[in-house]
Structure 1
Amino acid sequence: MTRYLLSIYQPDGPVPPAERLAEIGRDLETLNVELRAAGGWVFDGGLHPASTATVLRPGSGEVLMTDGPFVDSKEHLGGIKIIDAPDLDAALGWAAKLTRATGLPVEVRPFQG
């Protein structure tokens, strides 16, 4: 099995209505049950808004710390799911289910080693 990071990208802007969030929550729970039953679930979690981020960068001999996201963009990392899958096709299948559950883009990347 290979370990994959599924990165969920969330647009900036207002939080969806409570009814939509409840629907997403139900769909995610269904996906998580299926993923656990298949033995592929490792870890997952949602993140607070990008405005809560702190970025550390190397400077000339010191570390510079700034508030907010690393880049200015229209979407930011909103959550992650770490899974074990036999191959990239299987990981892409789980990512497609995650995209359908959340309505958000998902990036799939294998871990090294």
Structure 2
Amino acid sequence: MKYMMLIYMEENALSDTERTQCYAESAQLAQQLNSKGQYLATAPLHPVATATSVRVRDSKSLVTDGPFAETREQLGGFFLIDAQDLDEAIAIAAQIPGAKVGTVEIRPVIEVAGLPEP
């Protein structure tokens, strides 16, 4: 089953040096998952100042700067993995460097027929 792991943390939780180390550790984890056939995708996100939110109401688009929710922790990146079950996904999430300073939300991915193959 595919699982999306959303990494939330305060934007300033890491120094530049710590962020660089976090990226290196994340790349290492991605390589480990890839060697087991579990890696699908991962990426950090630019700061929330670069975010744009789109809502459609009454057939009209409302575009606003910033993230959808005003919270202390922001979505900072993601891992998309293939795991046997939630227990295995939890074990992988615990290895994500961002879990040390933030929160990793795990959600199963719904497989929708008719989508293009990656």
Tell me whether the two structures share a fold, i.e. TM-score over 0.5: yes
Percent identity over the alignment? 33
1:13 aligns with 2:17: no
Which residue identity lines up with residue 74 of structure 1 in the other structure? Answer: R
Q: Does 1:82 align with 2:62?
A: no
- Counterpart mapping for 1:45-60 below 5 A: 45-60=43-58
Which secondary structure state, in structure 1, belongs to the residue aligned with residue 64 of structure 2? strand
Instruction: Kindly tell me the number of residue pairs found equivalent between the two proteins.
Output: 109
The alignment's TM-score, normalised by the length of structure 2, stands at: 0.83
| Residue-by-residue CA offset, 1:32-85 (whole Å, 9 max, x unaligned) | 121111110001111001111111112233111111111111111110110001
Q: C-alpha displacement at 1:13, in angstroms?
A: 3.1
CA distance in 2, matches of 1:66, 1:21: 28
Question: RMSD in angstroms over aligned alpha carbons?
Answer: 1.6
The code of the aligned residue for 2:31 comes to V
TM, length-normalised to structure 1: 0.86
Partner of 2:89: 91
Letter in 2 for 1:89: D
Secondary structure at the aligned position of 1:36 is classed as: helix
Equivalent position of 2:2 in the other structure = 3
Instruction: Quote the Cα distance in structure 2 between the aligned partners of 1:95 and 1:14.
Output: 19
Which residue identity lines up with residue 17 of structure 1 in the other structure? D
**Could you say which residue in structure 1 is the equivalent of 2:33?**
35
Q: 1:14 offset after TM fit, Å?
A: 6.7
Identify the residue that residue 22 of structure 1 maps to in structure 2. 20
